Structure 1
């Protein structure tokens, strides 16, 4: 049973139950981030250890449920072609002319011409609080970018007393005459994650636009956990705003004013993927603790339970009640134990891979894989898993229908996936 029950309670959870690192950098979304429905082993790449997540981590007695374990596909129906490398890439988005914007976590915004291989820099970006999982985050053009040239950026922002929080700004993108670089002007912060807290993990700050032009922001719990159930905090929430940062009057808690008015759903942990399907349904994924990564169907005003319930356990082994024990909370449509450490999310709508149309793709950090998701209305399951040999940070759909991936970390490669030739 699904209910929109709000628990505005404060939970006392000890610091020893909190993760110290979770994803060491993780995203999501594609052309579907604008609300429109507009893999396998890579040769020469040896598997590398995951410093942040153990793919075998699970709580005592826990096994994967909520979806059947998909078989790894040794011979995927695509070819992976390296196109370039970046320094700790975190997110990417295509501009209408086919050029690619790529964020680097240390604070650089790159402009890549994927046809020529030229890479330039966009200057005028905001100062980021770099460190841990913090730094430059997502980048997304306004739905009317061709007219207004606006791009949206998310990033970790320093506060007083060593605190930090996510922020979202918008600015006008001005490309230089050569077309290989440019600058941002009229930068304006449209949203801040509040309160700012200490620590450098669980920012979230993935961005999407709906078909109605509303801006969606994933706001993770900053490892504070309890504020995910508090409507006076933006931590652990999915945020919905007008494109200028003002609050839509039809938000579920708009009448309460303040931070609560921004909130669409609550009870989230570490939201790192967001995408609309072809029917306009909104899906998000989030990282669980030791087990319990989630894929959720988003419903207005609903509470997804963190940290009261989870299908994972605390890192120290302390059990957390499973979702079925508290039916007032929305349960995930699919979940993973052992974890996949989801990062990046696109629901495919192109023509280059007709057999993938309507399927979802999630990057895996700990799993070092591309995860294919099959949807059936409001249900979802993992259909296939394509080992990639490296941590996958980001997934996008290109203008020509190709799938594009970013590897995580220093020297992370930009990969273009195209169908195998018959």
Structure 2
């Protein structure tokens, strides 16, 4: 195969196919790095998860779950997926492994689902057996449903206690994000059986769905756990401007649409306020919007200069953003991979110490960032 190189990663020989259409060596402010194309031909890949046997799972928004084995994308998708709908921004979205996946083989999928009442975000739990899902069970469904195809969100993350955080977008109906009896526009924290997680902030409170952990969130498409504090960090799309990075804290209202740094797509203002008493201010925001998707802290050894930095993919502005942090303060921002001109959908910290990316395209790719040396 032209342009192929090989790497030994965790004892597995992985064939990496260098992109023929783009220069594969780049300079950042701190180091030189190379971008290798691990796989291509994916239809709008959305999420990536690494299995303990050095293979990986990739979701395609078009409704397929694919396996990467020894650097090769298996042609046959995983069977047994739950019923889902591909419409607008919806389809098969995130995949998350249970923290004890090596022993229980459980994984979790978020996806769009349709009935006569409309569409919504669902989460299913399943057991991976070979190339098939078994014991598939729906454990979360955001209600009420609506008929538009926007803002499903769908990012998920586990905390140190094994509770699952699920982002649900406002579904393109902004006022729903402040309605605490409506599952849209917030983050829900549940057990792996779908019950409200112990200690949820609104358990027993009138007018609140008990699975809510935060609300006032527009459309979260990035979520990751801080490697030191264990807190869950997220980012969300603003409208025309006002993309935010937040730390998810119990009971917080993140303000959408009461406060925002963005304006409506029509150009008209949404709110005259960027801050308000009782509303959590963002740690960092972008104006104009970069359309963030995917997020990961760098914790590997391949790039010691990037240790502790936060990486965010961008769809609209087609780049990878590196944020250097001092605690909760972003002190440096650098744009990477602008030359690729690719919509970055997901960003993952790989077990091999590399940064792994997914590109959102009809011919989507799995990319791997490694040192240039």
TM-score higher than 0.5:
yes
Specify the alignment match of 2:187 in structure 1: 238
Do structure 1's residue 250 and structure 2's residue 250 form an aligned pair?
no
| C-alpha RMSD over aligned residues | 1.9
**Gaps in structure 1 of 5+ consecutive residues:** 1-41, 47-71, 176-181
Specify the alignment match of 2:239 in structure 1: 289
Among candidates 353, 359, 364, match of residue 407 of structure 1: 359
Is the 2:202–2:208 contact (alpha carbons within 8 Å) kept by the matching residues of 1? no
Specify the alignment match of 1:224 in structure 2: 173
Aligned ranges for residues 3-402 of structure 1 at < 5 Å?
44-45=21-22, 73=28, 77-85=32-40, 86-116=42-72, 118-161=74-117, 163-175=118-130, 182-256=131-205, 260-277=209-226, 278-321=228-271, 323-381=273-331, 383-386=333-336, 387=338, 388-402=340-354
Is the 1:363–1:369 contact (alpha carbons within 8 Å) kept by the matching residues of 2? yes
Is the 1:113–1:119 contact (alpha carbons within 8 Å) kept by the matching residues of 2? no
Is the 2:30–2:305 contact (alpha carbons within 8 Å) kept by the matching residues of 1? no
Is the 2:257–2:271 contact (alpha carbons within 8 Å) kept by the matching residues of 1? no
Q: Distance in 2 between matches of 1:257 and 1:153?
A: 30
Following TM superposition, by how much is the alpha carbon of 1:249 offset from its aligned partner in structure 2, in angstroms? 3.0
Match of 1:129, SS state, is coil
Following TM superposition, by how much is the alpha carbon of 1:77 offset from its aligned partner in structure 2, in angstroms? 2.2
Once structures 1 and 2 are overlaid, which stretch shifts more, 297-306 or 108-117?
Answer: 108-117
Q: Deviations over 1:322-380 (max 9, x none)?
A: 55452321111111111111010111111121221211111111111000012221223
Is the 2:260–2:274 contact (alpha carbons within 8 Å) kept by the matching residues of 1? no
Q: Deviations over 1:93-118 (max 9, x none)?
A: 10011111001111111011144554
Q: Distance in 1 between matches of 2:182 and 2:294?
A: 25
Q: Distance in 2 between matches of 1:186 and 1:374?
A: 42
Is the 1:128–1:158 contact (alpha carbons within 8 Å) kept by the matching residues of 2? yes
Distance 1:377 1:271, change over 3 A: same
Following TM superposition, by how much is the alpha carbon of 1:298 offset from its aligned partner in structure 2, in angstroms? 1.9
TM-score under structure 1 length normalisation: 0.79
Is the 2:170–2:184 contact (alpha carbons within 8 Å) kept by the matching residues of 1? yes
Structure 1 or 2: more strand by fraction: 2
Following TM superposition, by how much is the alpha carbon of 1:155 offset from its aligned partner in structure 2, in angstroms? 0.4
Is the 1:236–1:269 contact (alpha carbons within 8 Å) kept by the matching residues of 2? yes
Structure with larger RCO (C-alpha < 8 A, sep 6+) = 1
Q: Distance in 2 between matches of 1:263 and 1:383?
A: 32
Is the 2:342–2:359 contact (alpha carbons within 8 Å) kept by the matching residues of 1? yes
TM-score under structure 2 length normalisation: 0.89
Distance 1:196 1:92, change over 3 A: same
Specify the alignment match of 2:368 in structure 1: 416
Runs of 4+ in 1 over 6 A off after TM superposition: none
Q: How many residues align?
A: 348
Is the 2:45–2:360 contact (alpha carbons within 8 Å) kept by the matching residues of 1? yes
Specify the alignment match of 1:51 in structure 2: none
Following TM superposition, by how much is the alpha carbon of 1:248 offset from its aligned partner in structure 2, in angstroms? 2.0
Distance 1:166 1:187, change over 3 A: same
